[in-house]
Amino acid sequence: MTLDLPSTPSGYLRRRLLTLPGLERLEAYDAWWAAEGRGMSAAIDRQGTPWLRMFEALGWRVDEVLYPPDQRALLLSGY
């Protein structure tokens, strides 16, 4: 048995729906994901859990969550 699954989210939606509004935007996002997003996601996954920075260099309490640099770009593109 072979499964014929679409390789992109827009491919899946195109297959399931008769009309698909905003197809150009979905295809542009698919292209961005293939070119940049997949690599960013893999790098973020390799870095693991975000770090918690509790103190600055002089010992003052700061409590900052340090995310990987590409995570912001990835989230903004997804939203």
How does pLDDT run across 10-38, given as a tens digit for each residue? Answer: 788 888 887 778 888 888 888 888 898 88
Report the sign of the C-alpha dihedral through residues 65, 68, 70, 74, in that order. Answer: negative
Per DSSP, the residues of 33-45 read IIIIIHHHHHHHH
pLDDT category, 7, cuts 50, 70, 90?
A: confident
What pTM did the predictor assign? 0.63
pLDDT reported for residue 26: 85
CA distance 44 to 67: 9
- 37 CB-side CA count, 13 A: 12
